[in-house]
Structure 1
Amino acid sequence: MKPEVRQQIHRLGGTTTAAATTDLAEFLAATSFPHPLYPRHYAEELFGLDEFYQQHRALYTANPAAFYEALLLHFFADHQLPYGQDFFRPFRFTPFTPGTPDYGELEGLVTAEEVALTVAGGPLEFICICYSYGFPDHYFVCPGDPNPENPTVYGTDHEVFFQEITAVGSLEEFFNRYLSKDEFLAIARRHLTAQHAAG
């Protein structure tokens, strides 16, 4: 795997136990995050931030450092409160591979030939790496990607699952779309400092 991909994972607080020679599927299976991932556009939405501030306003006033520690513990806990975050939960999806549990799951919706017009590499098997509350709400890679060191990530949505597919960038670029804890904290501080000053 490209070193920059590992660096992005570590920047975001994730870990991987995969060896340097591990293939793409094994690398993703050995990668985990103990918390959700917040897209950079969270800075435009700030879901849940004002509510947390209102609930813990006394702590903010008495001990700002403790408040921000509690804020990070809350937002970066392994929960599914709808704050616009994404969840890294890799699983294999093999709708075109005979003899697998998923075989035929997309029958009548989309053909392998149609998917192959967008998805590079083969065989047409997939690792769904993230799901989210946004659009698209599923992201995946192809283990047979021509560039397994930094494969293309694709997006699709449950309403048009694999019928509409968009390339969203390389795996390195995909992880770069997310805020580190420090970046998230800086956004929260700016917003809440202004909020508190306004009364």
Structure 2
Amino acid sequence: MKQEILERIKELGGNIDNVKGTSLQEVLQAIEFKQPLYPHELWGTELYGIDEYYAKNKTLYSENKESFYLNLIKHFFSEQENPYGQMFYRGTLFTPYKKGTADYDEWNDIFTDDDEVDLSEIYTVSQNKQPDLINLLFSNGFPDNLYICLSDNNPDNPTVFGTDHEEFFSEISNEGTLSEFLEQFYTKDEFLKIVTNYIENEKTDK
């Protein structure tokens, strides 16, 4: 995987210290996130949860703004799963074609049925007709699961695919290369800048 992608993951709060292997699977499974990721599209236009957080902490805001914003960042970038439009890193194997795995037992009948599954979008980046995948992220938004094909023709910068639990692999979206995909998320500093501007300059019910 490209070093600049790993550096971007680090910027977004990911831990890449354990990335030692060279295979795409080894790299993706070694990455760790102890915080959610906030995408521009799902969160940036609505600022989910900010008004609620302010209402619960307006006394602190009036007494100590610095502590208010520090606590806000800790809250939104914690492991809690309040539905704020965020995504959560998984990095777990999904192997519906590999005999002897739990995924095979649960999903193989579906994944061998052309009426249930359409992997044509994935085949644009892989010649493997029965690929292993990495479940990269999940979210409360749409699509709620993001995957990378481990036999991607470009393992240095693989393509990210999205699918939703309601149309699980019967409809797949191309979310762009991993480097492109990671640009849609806010760093903590970017997140704080947007929130601060909203509360200080746009919020009318303070």
Normalised to the residue count of structure 2, the TM-score between the two structures is 0.89
CA contact (8 A) 2:119 2:172 kept: no
Structure 1 consecutive aligned stretches of length 4 or more whose deviation exceeds 6 Å: none
Alpha-carbon distance between aligned partners in 1 of 2:152 and 2:177, rounded to the nearest angstrom: 11
The residue that corresponds to 2:158 in the other structure is 151
Q: Distance in 2 between matches of 1:130 and 1:61?
A: 37
Q: 1:125: Cα distance to partner?
A: 0.8
Offset, 1:3: 1.3
Aligned residues: 198
**Displacement after TM superposition at 1:176 (Å):** 1.2
The letter of the residue matching 1:30 is A
Change (3 A) 1:101 1:109: closer
Matched-pair contact (CA < 8 Å) for 1:128–1:140: yes
Retained in 1: the 8 A contact 2:97–2:111? no
SS in 2 for 1:67: helix
Give the deviation of 1:107 after TM superposition.
4.7
SS of the residue 1:92 aligns to: strand
Letter in 1 for 2:91: P
Task: Point out where structure 2 has 5 or more consecutive residues left out of the alignment.
Answer: none
Are positions 1:57 and 2:63 aligned together? no
Amino acid at match of 1:45: E
Asked whether 1:24 is paired with 2:31, we answer no
In structure 1, runs of 5+ residues without a counterpart are none
Q: State the 1:111 CA deviation.
A: 3.5
Question: Aligned equivalents of 1:57 and 1:198: distance in 2?
Answer: 11
Q: CA deviation at 1:106?
A: 3.5
1:124 aligns with 2:125: no
Q: 2:103 aligns to what SS in structure 1? A: coil
- Following TM superposition, by how much is the alpha carbon of 1:192 offset from its aligned partner in structure 2, in angstroms? 0.7
C-alpha RMSD over aligned residues: 1.8
* Counterpart residue number, 1:135: 142
Q: TM-score, normalised by structure 1?
A: 0.92
Q: Deviations along 1:84-140, whole A, 9 cap, x unmatched?
A: 100001111111222322115345544377644211323511100100001100000
Alignment correspondent of 1:101: 102
2:51 partner letter = D
Q: Which amino acid aligns with 1:10?
A: K
Contact 2:97 2:131 in 1 (8 A): yes
The one-letter code matched in structure 1 to 2:22 is T
The equivalent of 1:78 in structure 2 is: 79
Q: Percent identity?
A: 40
Structure-2 residue corresponding to 1:38: 38
